[in-house]
Each structure stands twice: as C-alpha cells, then as structure tokens.
Amino acid sequence: MLIYHQKGIETEQAPHYTIKNFDFNPETRISHIEFLETKKYRRIERYVTRYGVRHPIYSNWISKTKSIKKTIKLTNEKLENLKSEPYPICDFCYEIVSRLDSDEFYPSWYIYERIKDEEKAEIDKAHKKFEGKVYEENEILKKYITEINDFNARSALDLLEKDELGNELEGINQSLQKAENKRHIVLFSFLTIGIYLLFHSNLYISKLNEKKLAILGSLNEVEALLEKNKMRIVALSEKVNQSKETIKRIELEKETCIDEIKKRYEAKIQAIEGLPITFEEKHVFIPLKTLVGLKYEKIKGCYVIRNTENGKCYAGQSKDVINRICRQHFNGTKVKNIIFAEDYYNSTLENKDDLFEVRIIPLSTKDELDRVEMELIEEYDSFQNGYNQTKGNS
C-alpha cells in the first residue's frame, strides 16, 4: 500500500540496535562486539500532481539491517565509565557487563544496580507476604461485619415483631378491662337472660386471657432472641476490634521489615568499592589479572611474579614494569615468556588466570634497581628454586 504525501509524515525512524555476537577474552580484557543496526524508512515510489502541485507518494516501512563491529579493551577504567562510551555501547553497558559473567569484572555502578534490583525484589516479596496476611485478616473482618449486620437486621425485625405484639397485648388488655366492667351489669339481669350473658362474658374473657398468654409467650421469645442477638453482636464487635488491631500490627510489622531491608541494602551500597583504576603500592601481591585491568601507567622499579600453585617466583627490574609484565612476560594473563610456560600448561587450576600474582616496587635510580632486584631474588629464593636464571645484575 502506498502512502500519499501529508504534511509532517514520518519517513525515517531512529535506528534500533541489538547485540548479535559478544566475545570477551579475560586474559587480555579485549572484547569484540557485533551490533545489528536496523533502520526503517519510507521510499518515494512516485509523484502525483494535484491542482498544479507535485506530491510524492511513499511506500510502506522498509527495514534495512547492517552489522557494526566494535572492539574495546575492557580495563577497569573502561568498565567503570562504560555508560559514557559512544553510542550504542553506552546503551548496552548493563548487558555487556552481565555477559562478562564474573564479579571480578563488575564495576561499581553495575553492582549498585544489581543491589537495587535485589532490594526491590525483596521489598516486593515482603509487600506480597504482608499484603496476603492483611487480605486474609480483612476477609475475616468482613465476615464479622456481615454477621453483625445480619444480627442487626434480625434484631430490627424482632423489634418490629415486639412492637406489634405489644400493641396487640395492649388491645387485649383494653378488651379485658371492658369485659370486666360489663360483668356487674350481667348480674342485675340474672332473672331474665342473665345466665346466657354471664356465660358469654366468661367465655369471651377466657379466650382473651388465652390469647394474652400466647402473646406474652411470644414476647418472651422475642425478647430472648433480642438479648441473644445483642450478646452475639457484642462478641462479634470485640472480634472486629481484634481484627482491626491485628491489621494494624501486620502493617507495623511490614513497615519494620521493609525498613530493615532498606537499611541492610543501604549498608551493602555503602560498602561498594569501584574497580581499582591505577596501581597503588601496598607492598603486597595482587593477582596478575587485576594488573591487566589497571589503567596503563609507566612505572620504573622492580617486580616479583609468583606462581600461586607451587610458590615459585621470578624477580626482575624494568623502566616500564607494567609493560614488561603484561606484554613481554605475558599476553594479558596468558604466558608469553617460555620460563613460565611449563608450569602454566601443567597447572591443575581450573582457571589459569588465577595462577600468577605480582608485586611491584617503584624505584628511581639504577643503583636502587640493581640492589633491590638482588635482594628480591634472595628473599624469594628465585634463583635456586624459582624462575630466575641469574642472581641479578651486579
């Protein structure tokens, strides 16, 4: 279907990117990323002329996809600043780091986002847990309130019945009063038809009394029901109050629980440390893979390379220590110098990136370099039982 030209018609959409391939070498920190860039656009099919004006006619959306390859060395500095990398790498920074699949490469911002995601998940779980309890208690509360309403409705009907019975009883009492007042008249006419009138009067009074007794019995029953309903309503009202208190307690527990979760994750966030960017002299060994990830800086000094599996060492000196270690002795963390090769390839470690560690001692003068190198060879016994083939410069 062709689209006629309209003012403001969209003819091109912003490109959409996806990661097709991702390859990361932890030994060298080199990453190869292949993105697929998909663009959508409309093509002008032809023109039509209307009222002397030439109008373009556009096609439906057409998709065009091309591959974009990027190579980036993911040093610690790059990882910490991956969000600032050029597009599209910056948009896929979270996915890129997650594909590294090792916490030793996780920058501080990634750890922060992971912690916040975990916090949200735990808070959501707590909300559901306590909301479930509140829901159950609310259902119980609704049940009690419904029962109270039912008993109130019954009591209202019973009160109506009581009023009706009371009115009826009052009518009977009035009738009995009238009947009693007429009995003395019957006595005066005893010699004529008085016997019949007296009998009729007594029978009428007797029926009224029977009816009165029946009404009194019904009234007693109604009053008993009213009292029973009243007691039941009082009991249910107490349960309603208990349920409301339980709901308040659950809500308070939820707030306390969520506050504790937030405090716990805040402590985790406060403990986040960024990946080391540059070398810091701490007079200790650091993993070779950590050194590979540091920002390059020219350091003059001595160094020791130690095999963590068998303890064998190599001591050396250089005007550019990091370059000597990471590019001449090793290619990243993979052995390049033959003196380490046998132990490297015979190592039983599952991850050979963990096999070597290094110590760097920055120095200034040639005399210092020669003296410290010899001291290190002796200290770590690297000539007799290590990788050094001499006792050092003399």
Query: With pLDDT > 70 as the criterion, what percentage of the chain qualifies?
Result: 93
CB neighbours (10 Å) of residue 309?
A: 16
| Per-residue pLDDT at 185 | 54
Average pLDDT of the segment spanning 115-125: 96
Average pLDDT of the segment spanning 353-357: 93
For residue 44, CA distances in Å to 4, 9, 15, 59, 351 come to 10, 12, 19, 6, 58
| Per-residue pLDDT at 189 | 52
Does residue 197 register a pLDDT over 80? no
What long-range pairs does 370-379 form, CB within 8 A, spacing at least 24? 370/317, 370/394, 372/301, 372/302, 372/317, 373/302, 373/315, 373/316, 373/317, 376/302, 376/304, 376/315, 377/315
| Per-residue pLDDT at 198 | 53
Comparing C-alpha atoms, which of 342, 346, 351, 357 is closest to residue 311? Answer: 357
Please report which confidence band the pLDDT of residue 87 belongs to, taking 50, 70 and 90 as the band edges: confident
Does residue 226 register a pLDDT over 80? yes
Average pLDDT of the segment spanning 214-231: 88
Average pLDDT of the segment spanning 96-105: 90
Residue 218's SS3 state is helix
Amino acid at 293: G
Comparing C-alpha atoms, which of 319, 296, 310 is closest to residue 357? Answer: 310
Distance of CA 273 to the CA centre of its chain: 23
Does residue 342 register a pLDDT over 60? yes
Distance CA 237, CA 231 (A): 10
| Per-residue pLDDT at 1 | 46
Does residue 186 register a pLDDT over 70? no
| Per-residue pLDDT at 180 | 72
Q: Mean pLDDT in the chain?
A: 89
Distance CA 215, CA 366 (A): 124
Which of 206-215, 244-253, 383-392 is least confident? 206-215
Comparing C-alpha atoms, which of 122, 115, 121, 117 is closest to residue 261? Answer: 122
Average pLDDT of the segment spanning 274-292: 88
| Per-residue pLDDT at 339 | 95
Please report which confidence band the pLDDT of residue 170 belongs to, taking 50, 70 and 90 as the band edges: confident
* First-residue to last-residue Cα distance in the chain: 86
Q: Which H helix or E strand runs over 188?
A: helix 108-188
Distance CA 68, CA 266 (A): 40
Query: How are strands ordered across the β-sheet holding 3-4?
Result: 3-4, 53-58, 44-50
Average pLDDT of the segment spanning 350-367: 93
- The answer to whether 275 and 293 have CB atoms below 8 angstroms apart is yes
| Per-residue pLDDT at 2 | 46
| Per-residue pLDDT at 362 | 95
For residue 96, CA distances in Å to 17, 49, 116, 272, 338 come to 13, 52, 19, 20, 34
The pLDDT tens digits of the residues spanning 284-320 come to 899 999 899 998 899 999 999 999 999 999 999 999 9
Average pLDDT of the segment spanning 95-115: 93
Name the DSSP letter for residue 328.
I
| Per-residue pLDDT at 183 | 57
Which of 112-116, 353-357, 389-393 is least confident? 389-393
Does residue 184 register a pLDDT over 60? no
| Per-residue pLDDT at 284 | 87
| Per-residue pLDDT at 200 | 61
| Per-residue pLDDT at 130 | 94
The pLDDT tens digits of the residues spanning 362-384 come to 999 999 999 999 999 999 999 99
